[in-house]
Amino acid sequence: MALRTLVSSGKTLGRFSRFQQQIRGLQTFTLPDLAYDYGALEPVISGEIMQLHHQKHHQTYITNYNKALEQLDDAIAKGDASTAVKLQSAIKFNGGGHVNHSIFWKNLAPTSEGGGEAPHGSLGWAIDQHFGSMEKLIAKMNAEGAAVQGSGWVWLAVDKELKRLVVETTANQDPLVTKGATLVPLLGIDVWEHAYYLQYKNVRPDYLKNIWKVINWKYASQVYEKECP
């Protein structure tokens, strides 16, 4: 009997209850609002890029993620293991795209709202301890971000078990968790061409050099302090 049938019949046992809830309320995802206007990050990131990036690129990941989840739900209901496995790459790519961009928008802020202001408090101290200085961290992330082949992301993360900062990169739309279950992203920089090509003419290092002027360190600090109180 398919799990869906079990669920709808109400005959599930306690051990199924959590899964039952997930099946009943198949989650669909929607585009999160930005906390600032599209043009608010200019001149660092143009309003045109922000609008396209948010409304077209991020929305497409969400649309395809929802579609893949619905197909997965159908495959499970039908007991179609082959299709369920086949859908994993679409779920990873599009779900990762949604997860990554949702973090990215929070990592940015207009200069009038503190964008680019270096972190004070425990995160600023930890950056100095782990990397030597903010300038050294920026140089490291810029170098690793520029070296990502094709499309991907460069991250500043905290390992919540080891309580230490790390810089990582991920390919395509792989979320940071694929590099380690204990890694929590503080700051993710999108190095896909769609993030900068209209304005920086595909010169990724120029985009990386400038983006620090609108980085929302307040958000990164809040996440860090939650993980390392």
- Within residues 195-224, the interface with Fe ion by CB under 5 A covers 195
Q: Is 151 left (phi over 0), alpha (psi -120 to 50) or beta?
A: beta
Structure tokens that stand for 87 in this block? 């859908």
Q: Can you list the alpha helix ranges (DSSP code H) found in the chain?
A: 3-9, 17-24, 47-51, 59-78, 81-86, 88-106, 121-131, 134-147, 197-200, 204-211, 217-227
Task: Select the residue whose beta carbon is closest to Fe ion and give its number.
Answer: 190
Angle in degrees, CA 152, 212, 175, rounded to 5: 25
Residue 194: helix, strand or coil by DSSP? helix
Site string for Fe ion, 145-184 (x = CB under 5 A): ----------------------------------------
* DSSP secondary structure letter of residue 15: G
The least distance separating Fe ion from the CB of residue 84, rounded to whole angstroms, comes to: 28
**Choices 60-68, 111-119, 176-184, 185-193; region in contact with Fe ion by CB under 5 A:** 185-193
The least distance separating Fe ion from the CB of residue 104, rounded to whole angstroms, comes to: 7
Nearer to Fe ion, 99 or 220 (CB): 99
The least distance separating Fe ion from the CB of residue 214, rounded to whole angstroms, comes to: 15
The least distance separating Fe ion from the CB of residue 227, rounded to whole angstroms, comes to: 25
| Residue located via tokens 């795209």 | 97
User: What span, in angstroms and rounded, lies between the C-alpha atoms of 133 and 1?
Assistant: 60
**Choices 63-71, 157-165, 189-197, 213-221; region in contact with Fe ion by CB under 5 A:** 189-197
**Choices 42-50, 70-78, 166-174, 194-202; region in contact with Fe ion by CB under 5 A:** 194-202
User: Binder to Fe ion among 36, 38, 155, 192 (CB under 5 A)?
Assistant: 192
**Choices 38-46, 68-76, 147-155, 186-194; region in contact with Fe ion by CB under 5 A:** 186-194
Q: Exposed, middle or buried, 1 (CB in 10 Å: 0-12/13-18/19+)?
A: exposed
| Helices 121-131/217-227 angle, 10° precision | 90
Q: Binding of Fe ion at residue 190 (CB under 5 A)?
A: yes
Kindly state the number of chain residues that form the binding site for Fe ion, as judged by CB under 5 A. 3
| Helices 121-131/134-147 angle, 10° precision | 70
Nearer to Fe ion, 21 or 55 (CB): 55
Q: Which residues are annotated as a binding site?
A: 53, 101, 190, 194
Residues that bind Fe ion (CB under 5 A): 190, 192, 195
